[in-house]
Amino acid sequence: MTIAAITTSTSGTSGSSASASATNPLSSLENPQLFLQLLVAELQNQDPTNPTSPSSIMQQTSQLAQMEAVNQMSSAIAAEQAASQTAEAAGLIGRSITATVNGQSVSGAVSAVTLDSSGTPSLTVGSTSVPIGAVTSIQ
């Protein structure tokens, strides 16, 4: 297993311990299982005469918990944004819009809303599919 973000530095004259490089390696960990594997490897390979401090382990664990919370918040915000866009698109059914699609101006009443595979809504105006982000005005 290759670990590019971890470097080894010597502390005094005894042994070595894993330390972070210029960037925080924890910020690049998106897999909690990988973090735990690295933590166990660090504990197994630490210098018995200079063990890792409990506060250092708690700090790393706290950073992992914070990262997981941020990832969960990001997912929740993305889901809320998608739901909001879908509700906004549904509210446009029957309304007249103007949009720019592929450099062409499209105007007319929205007859339907479709969701693509990522959940992004598109409006149907006549026979043209209009991404909701391309709408320039609503009448």
- Judge whether 4 lies within some domain: no
Total count of domains within the chain: 1
Q: CA dist 128 to 7, 30, 56, Å?
A: 55, 40, 58
- Domain of 105, in residue numbers: 30-42+58-139
User: Distance between CA atoms of 99 and 84, rounded to whole angstroms?
Assistant: 20
Q: Say if residue 121's pLDDT is above 60.
A: yes
Give the pLDDT confidence score for residue 29 in this predicted structure. 52
> Per-residue pLDDT averaged across 1-21, rounded?
41
In a domain, 65, yes or no: yes
> What is the distance between the alpha carbons of residues 70 and 32, in angstroms, rounded to a whole number?
13
Contact 61, 96 (CB under 8 A): no
In a domain, 108, yes or no: yes
53 is written with which tokens? 């401090």
Domain presence at residue 17: no
> Do the beta carbons of residue 119 and residue 86 sit within 8 Å?
yes
3-state secondary structure of 118: coil
Give a yes or no: residue 23 inside a domain: no
| 53 pLDDT tier (thresholds 50, 70, 90) | confident
Express each pLDDT in 63-110 by its tens digit: 888 888 998 999 999 999 989 989 999 999 999 999 999 999 999 999
Helix axes of 32-44 and 54-91: crossing angle, nearest 10 degrees: 170
Whether 20 maps to a domain, the answer reads no
pLDDT at 87: 92
Q: Rounded CA gap, 120 and 118, in Å?
A: 6
19 assigned to some structural domain = no
The helix/strand/coil state of 38 is: helix
Residue 16 falls inside a structural domain? no
The separation between the first and the last C-alpha atoms of the chain, rounded to the nearest angstrom, is 59
